[in-house]
Chains A and B, each alone.
Chain A
């Protein structure tokens, strides 16, 4: 399937007094038509900045310093103001975590959706006006005609997010980027919104890029998962594959560090020691090695590439979790002992895939 959106070697940096913040540090990303892609990572992993870079919305003093972004064969980084305006909304649109601060509090919700269409030339002024109730109904806002005339503060949190989704889809974009769309919402409302995104993807064929820190949300809606750490992709692949057999120690640990609603009780959670890295002062070698339990010598000095670890499955690590003997063994006791004595037993992923090529 041809990629509708392709990002290659993207680097976005912020020049600050303390040095250079490497927010996005060499990202490759492909989004196919009609696909649902999940980008997961902690705060500071660069997931939101990747999305803002795609729409060329990086805030000052940030700059895209390297790489390419291609949408349907067009170079996004070469677009002028006018082309950009059409690209945003018509081709790729974005919804944000906090729907209250993305809506203008003094304008009626319907008017704001109408305005989003008028400013993008796809629909005429009359069409824009008449499409509003239909768009609100599509995101299951009851009594759409009346609701369109209300102000954001008259909407509940979930309804505001629905209105944002309606606005995001108003110009029928090929890609909708949703940045933590359910994080501020309660679980019962989260379930409604996720269901909605799934339906819209199925009915309209809009590709969805879902940015979240919540692994469970990704499992719920995405077919492809990209795991980010320190501004890079550390693992990616089909959702089923990533969850069934995570190969990067970070993904592997993250899945074991969150309590699951269906877990057996009495177990202790795995902890990932240390803190997310300082983006102005990244460690040498693999960026995850200071927090990793499965390091081998070269992790400290050499940064691994994204290696093939399965069909369509890539991991940026010298070690493959499949080759770690009994990784859960010290889960219950001291969780932070590096397995240095076992290093010899680990198969180095890079060599294996090099042989395969």
Chain B
């Protein structure tokens, strides 16, 4: 089935809960910011489903628009165009009280555990504030709920009268997590929740997030640049480049069999903590850096850095097509630049692949042909 045709139709209005159905659906979502007389195309036509109960990892380099997408999903910033469905309801159509009630169900965990907590509020008030906002609990009952969620998040409940500066970075991140959980949401957007933490603390937060997912039946959109962490946590992974999704697949499939050349290059760039592996590995080195989203490259956004780019790549924008089992990729030559972590792609073989592509008719890619409906 082609993603594009699916994109046109809204998901069925009778939203059915249950594992496997889409809890959050994005259809052709755009987000643009004015920058002087120019426009920053931060999110540039994204269609994506986050399924009930899963963790969807969203990866990409800085400036690819992944954080903006997270903020659009939580409605912290409205989308410029496109629709976002949560539990089958179009968020753009929600206003006032309905929108406020939606926010109870969708919460966010932020990257910076220092900047995201009000230094003049006690931890108990920070965590309990959402309860007050929604008028859900008062006085003793609120304290009880706050202390309970603190315990669940690995904080000492008796510290609820302390201030954020009395806590370490890891503990502050726990405070942020407790605050996001107190309304018992079912969808959480976590934007780089561990990248500001010390290495020995990161594992504590990763394990906590996994534990909470089981205990509270949470669905995560996990945004990060660290592909090892994303692989560890996610059921499926979406790879973003310059405002567009270039590949989506379940974790194992994506890391073992990347179809998009950018994913392949990204995976090969990651150093592995094992000198034996590192010794015989020369990753594909992508030239240059991610271009500006103000004036992104035409057609395929990646063609300026792609080791196997062809003329067509700068002329026709590749669609996100399904190559089987929900493995989506947006590339004219999907699957051509193969290379798992263990198997390096040597520069010579990149040249061979290029030669083969030129000889071949585009589209006739063996091993990876889009599944058509």
Residue from A253, A260, A268 whose CB has the most chain B CB atoms within 10 Å:
A260
User: Known contacts being A188-B61, A258-B228, A275-B168, is A243 close to B273, with CB within 8 Å?
Assistant: yes
Interface of chain B: mostly helix, strand, loop or mixed: helix
Interface string of B233-249 (1 = CB under 8 A from A): 10000000000000000
Interface string of B198-241 (1 = CB under 8 A from A): 11111110110010000000000000010111011100000000
The total of chain B residues at the interface (CB under 8 A) is 47
Residue in A239, A257, A258, A259 whose beta carbon sits within 8 Å of that of B275 in the complex: A239
A240 & B210 in contact (Cβ 8 Å cutoff): no
Interface string of A195-227 (1 = CB under 8 A from B): 100000000000000000111111110000000
Docked pose: A240 CA to B203 CA in angstroms: 24
A42 & B198 in contact (Cβ 8 Å cutoff): yes
Docked pose: A188 CA to B305 CA in angstroms: 11
Tell me if A134 is interfacial: C-beta within 8 Å of chain B: no
Interface of chain A: mostly helix, strand, loop or mixed: helix
Tell me if B193 is interfacial: C-beta within 8 Å of chain A: no
User: Known contacts being A269-B206, A275-B168, A276-B200, is A261 close to B275, with CB within 8 Å?
Assistant: no
User: Known contacts being A158-B289, A187-B266, is A261 close to B206, with CB within 8 Å?
Assistant: no
Tell me if A126 is interfacial: C-beta within 8 Å of chain B: no
User: Known contacts being A272-B200, A275-B201, is A261 close to B272, with CB within 8 Å?
Assistant: yes
Chain A interface residue bracket vs B: 35 or more
Beta-carbon nearest neighbor of B62 in chain A: A186
The 5 lowest CB-CB distance pairs between A and B, nearest first, are A259-B232, A216-B271, A191-B269, A186-B61, A257-B203
Beta-carbon nearest neighbor of A220 in chain B: B271
User: Known contacts being A42-B199, A187-B61, A187-B269, is A219 close to B232, with CB within 8 Å?
Assistant: no
B227 & A257 in contact (Cβ 8 Å cutoff): no
A213 & B170 in contact (Cβ 8 Å cutoff): no
Docked pose: A207 CA to B271 CA in angstroms: 21
Q: Which residues of B contact A253 (CB under 8 A)?
A: 200
Residue in B266, B272, B290 whose beta carbon sits within 8 Å of that of A262 in the complex: B272
Tell me if B341 is interfacial: C-beta within 8 Å of chain A: yes
Interface string of A37-58 (1 = CB under 8 A from B): 0000011000000000000000
Docked pose: A269 CA to B194 CA in angstroms: 14
B266 & A260 in contact (Cβ 8 Å cutoff): no
User: Known contacts being A261-B272, A265-B231, is A187 close to B289, with CB within 8 Å?
Assistant: no
B274 & A243 in contact (Cβ 8 Å cutoff): yes
Q: Which residues of A contact B232 (CB under 8 A)?
A: 259, 263, 265, 269
Residue in A158, A216, A255 whose beta carbon sits within 8 Å of that of B270 in the complex: A216
B61 & A261 in contact (Cβ 8 Å cutoff): no
Beta-carbon nearest neighbor of B340 in chain A: A262
B225 & A186 in contact (Cβ 8 Å cutoff): yes
User: Known contacts being A191-B269, A219-B278, A268-B207, is A254 close to B199, with CB within 8 Å?
Assistant: yes
Q: Which residues of B contact A254 (CB under 8 A)?
A: 199-200
Q: Which residues of A contact B200 (CB under 8 A)?
A: 42, 253-254, 257, 272, 276, 291
B227 & A187 in contact (Cβ 8 Å cutoff): yes
A-B contact count (CB 8 A): 137
Q: Which residues of A contact B346 (CB under 8 A)?
A: none
Q: Apart from A188-B285, A276-B200, what 4 extra A-B contacts exist at CB < 8 Å?
A: A189-B61, A216-B273, A255-B273, A272-B203
Docked pose: A146 CA to B216 CA in angstroms: 57
Residue in B198, B201, B231, B341 whose beta carbon sits within 8 Å of that of A259 in the complex: B231
B275 & A243 in contact (Cβ 8 Å cutoff): yes
- Give chain A's interface residues, CB within 8 Å of chain B: 42-43, 156-159, 186-192, 194-195, 213-220, 239-240, 243-244, 253-255, 257-263, 265, 268-273, 275-276, 291
Instruction: Looking at the assembled complex, report how far the CB atom of A273 sits from the nearest CB atom of chain B, in whole angstroms.
Output: 8
Chosen A-B contacts, 22 in total, with CB atoms closer than 8 Å, are A43-B198, A156-B289, A186-B62, A187-B61, A187-B225, A187-B269, A187-B270, A191-B271, A191-B283, A220-B275, A243-B273, A243-B276, A253-B200, A257-B200, A261-B228, A261-B272, A263-B231, A265-B232, A265-B251, A271-B203, A272-B201, A272-B203
User: Known contacts being A263-B232, A265-B232, is A216 close to B227, with CB within 8 Å?
Assistant: no
Q: Which residues of A contact B283 (CB under 8 A)?
A: 191, 195
Instruction: Looking at the assembled complex, report how far the CB atom of B346 sits from the nearest CB atom of chain A, in whole angstroms.
Output: 14
B272 & A216 in contact (Cβ 8 Å cutoff): yes
Beta-carbon nearest neighbor of A156 in chain B: B289
Beta-carbon nearest neighbor of A194 in chain B: B271
Instruction: Looking at the assembled complex, report how far the CB atom of B208 sits from the nearest CB atom of chain A, in whole angstroms.
Output: 9
User: Known contacts being A187-B61, A261-B341, is A219 close to B273, with CB within 8 Å?
Assistant: yes
Beta-carbon nearest neighbor of B276 in chain A: A240
Residue in A42, A214, A239 whose beta carbon sits within 8 Å of that of B271 in the complex: A214
A275 & B170 in contact (Cβ 8 Å cutoff): yes
Docked pose: A270 CA to B225 CA in angstroms: 21
Q: Which residues of A contact B203 (CB under 8 A)?
A: 257-258, 269-272
A259 & B229 in contact (Cβ 8 Å cutoff): yes
Docked pose: A244 CA to B232 CA in angstroms: 22
Residue in A159, A220, A255 whose beta carbon sits within 8 Å of that of B278 in the complex: A220
Q: Which residues of A contact B202 (CB under 8 A)?
A: 257-258
Q: Which residues of A contact B168 (CB under 8 A)?
A: 275
Beta-carbon nearest neighbor of B205 in chain A: A271
